Every structure is written in C-alpha cells, then in structure tokens.
Structure 1
Amino acid sequence: MDQFGQLTEVEIINRILKGEKPLYEIIVQRFNSSLYKIGRSYNYNHEDTQDLMQDTYIDAYKNLDQFEKRAGFKTWIIRIMLNNCYRKKQKFSYKNEFANEIINENETPMFSNSMTDIQKEIHSRELGHIIENSLSQIPEDYRIVFSLREINGLNISETSALLNISQTNVKVRLNRAKTMLRIAVEKSYTAEELFDFNLSYCNPFSKKVMLEINRL
C-alpha cells in the first residue's frame, strides 16, 4: 500500500468505486487516529470506540458514492462517527448557548510544543492518565468541541456544521473547555497526544475492518 500513500482521498475513493476495494485500507489507516479520538472524547472505552470506528468505516464504505467530493472527506467521515456516537447514547441534546464572557479569538493554543522530545516523553508517561481523566470529566458538549477543534484540527466552520450549532457557540464551548482543563493540564503537553490510537492497534484493526469490508 505504500505506493498509494500519496494519493488524495478523492483519488482513492474514485479508484475504490471503480473496483479497487483493497485501497480502502488506506482510508482506514489514515483516519484511525481521528475517529479514535472522537470515540474516546465521548467517554467510550477502547473496545467500544473500536466497535464504533468499525461501524463508521463500514457505513462510509457503503455510502462512498454519496460522498460529495467538493467537501472534505475528513469532515464527512467524522460526521458519520459522530452520528454513530449519538445513536449509541440515544440522545442529541446540544443546546444553543450565548456568551456572557469575553471570547479571545486570538488566544494562543492551550498546548505548546516548547519542550524537548525527552521532556515530552517523561511528561507523556507521568501525565497521560491525568490528562485523559481530566478531559473525561468535562461536560460532553464542551469535550466534543474541544476534541474536534484542538485534537482533530477542524476549523470553526467545520465544527459548527458537524454539531449543528452556531460558530459563536463553538467559540464559547471551546473557551469554556479550555478554562476547565487549564487547571489540570500542563500547557506544554500536546493535544495530538491525547487518546492516541497506538500503531500497535492500528494495523490489526485495519485488517479487521478490511475483513468486514470484503464480506460486503
């Protein structure tokens, strides 16, 4: 699969739709980390998150011909994952919020990369469980916005569309989520490391998904 690694999602999808089903494994491996972070941000455990991811990949595969190629594939597949998470919890309870506090849109990122690799490794081992526990205690509405914006790197417009809330509400929730986390989380710890889908899981999981895809 390495020789196909430089293909865009649109190019891969076009080839899959023409019959090159094995290329779907590239899609799975490319988005494992993003989908895993979404599931864990809903406080699902490792096993439940993997089940949701597999359902999401199968749903996406079955509907590849409905993907509108003018949109971003990452946003499209995250939407499917979010819908699966919603259905599992049997609720969709987002409410509009209005900001009473001042929102600093130019605020520096909550997490910085100022530490050395060795320091990061030490902090990763010592603080990883604290960070995950802290994030899991934040109310879901704020936790999901934080996950989409800070961890998965979606912009305000994409997050607003995915969650069906206003862009102002995205900013409010992100601002409040950062406030809740700031007490417990070192600013030097990178957001991307949260809920990382370890490579030791990635390849076996991708093979498992492809076994299901090949049965379709």
Structure 2
Amino acid sequence: MTPFEKFTEAEIITRILEGEKSLYEIIVRRFNPYLYKVGRSYNYNHEDTQDLMQDTFIDAYKSLLQFEGRSDFKTWIIRIMMNHCYRKREKSSFKNEMTQDINDNSKPMFSNSNNDTDKVIGNRELRHVIEDSLSKIPFDYRIVFSLRQINGLNVTETANLLSISEANVKVRLNRSKAMLRSEIEKIYSGRELFEFNLIYCDAIVENVMHKINEL
C-alpha cells in the first residue's frame, strides 16, 4: 500500500466509501501514534489505551460518511478518542487532579534558551522523563501540552477540541511547561516518550481491520 502513503485522508476516505475497505489500514497506521499519546495523556495504561484506540477507530470507520472535511481529519479522530477517554473516566470515576493556579507568566520550559520544547521532545534521552513528568501534572494542563506540543495541533484546533478559549490554551500551555520543567529537573533517563512500537501498531491494525470486515 506504499503508493497510497502520500494520499490525503480525504482521498483515502473517498476510496474506502467507494468500497476499498482495506485502505482503512492506512488510516489506522497513520493515526495510531496520535491516539496513543492522547490516551496516555489521560493517564490510562498501555492496555486500556489500546482498547480505547480500537474503539475509536471502529467508531470513526462507522462515521466516515459524517466526516465532511470541514475540519482536519486528525482533529476529528482525536475528538472521538477524547470522547472515549472521557466516558471511560466518568464510568470508572477516574480522578484527575485539578488546579486553579493559572499563571501566564511562566518561565521557558528549560533555562537554556536553545532547548525549546520541540527539540526536547525530539531528544531521545529526555523522553522518558517527559512521559513520567506529564503523568504528574493536572489533567487540564497535561492534555493541552499533549495536543499542542506532542500531537502538533494549533491553538485554534486545541481550543475547539477542549471547548476553551485560545487565550486559555496559551495560558495552560505555558503553565504546563513550568510544571514539566520543575519535574524534569529532578530526574534524567533515556526511554521513549509514550512510545508506540510497530509491533503494537500491527496488533491494533489487525484487530481493527478484523472488526470492520465483520461490519
């Protein structure tokens, strides 16, 4: 399916709706990493996150006709994943710490001005530290950091997904960086940030494709 890798989501979806169901594998592989990071940002473990991803991909497939291309597909499918995460949290009374301490005058994430957030996330030697630190900060800030800095959504997309103002997105992002900076300065390690290995990707693809072929 390599020739389809450069196709847009809209082009792939059109062909899926025309009967090429097997092309949905491209969608699953393309968005596995994004959904995984969202699930882990809710502090769900690896197994629960995989279950939520599978449910998300199945629901997205069933709703492809409703995707009208007015929003980015990544934003659309992340919203479905977030809804699943939210419902699971409510159902199980999953508690996330909250805070009212919002400060938009936070310092840069690191004192070295050359170390911006994108470079930090790209640094394999700091990824495990960031993962561990993210799990310790309040959810409101953790999810903004995940959407903006890890999943690459812009301010407007993030604001729309979370139903908050763009100003609040910026404030929470700054605050999350300050919280992370405090945590990261305590420890240093060398594992992956919310790593989703190919072996796991293959399993999700297999499960999702099996289920949609039964629809």
Coarse TM-score class (shorter-chain normalised): 0.7 to 0.9
Q: Is the 8 A contact 1:38 1:147 kept in 2?
A: yes
Q: Is the 8 A contact 2:5 2:26 kept in 1?
A: yes
Q: Does 1:202 find its partner at 2:201?
A: yes
Q: Is the 8 A contact 1:151 1:194 kept in 2?
A: no
Partners of 2:40 and 2:9 in 1: CA distance: 24
Give unpaired runs (5+ residues) of structure 1.
none
Alignment deviations for residues 146-198 of structure 1 (CA, whole Å, 9 cap, x no partner): 00000000000000000000111111111110000012337xx9xxx521211
- Give 1:30's aligned residue: 30
Partners of 1:73 and 1:140 in 2: CA distance: 24
- Give 2:214's aligned residue: 215
Change (3 A) 1:100 1:38: closer
Q: Following superposition of structure 1 onto structure 2, how do residues 11-22 of structure 1 map, counting pairs within 5 Å?
A: 11-22=11-22
Residue 69 (structure 1) shift: 1.2
- Give 1:168's aligned residue: 167
Partners of 2:173 and 2:162 in 1: CA distance: 13
Change (3 A) 1:103 1:160: farther
Partner-residue secondary structure (3-state), 2:184: coil
Q: Is the 8 A contact 2:25 2:209 kept in 1?
A: yes
Partners of 1:26 and 1:45 in 2: CA distance: 25
Partners of 1:54 and 1:37 in 2: CA distance: 14
Partners of 2:11 and 2:146 in 1: CA distance: 28
Q: Is the 8 A contact 1:98 1:172 kept in 2?
A: no
- Give 2:70's aligned residue: 70
TM-score by length of 1: 0.83
TM-score by length of 2: 0.84
Percent identity, aligned pairs only? 62
When the two chains are superposed, the root-mean-square deviation of aligned CA atoms in Å is 2.9
Residue 110 (structure 1) shift: 2.3
Aligned length: 202
Give unpaired runs (5+ residues) of structure 2.
none
Q: Is the 8 A contact 2:131 2:193 kept in 1?
A: yes
Partner-residue secondary structure (3-state), 1:112: helix
Alignment deviations for residues 84-105 of structure 1 (CA, whole Å, 9 cap, x no partner): 00100118x9x9x796543789
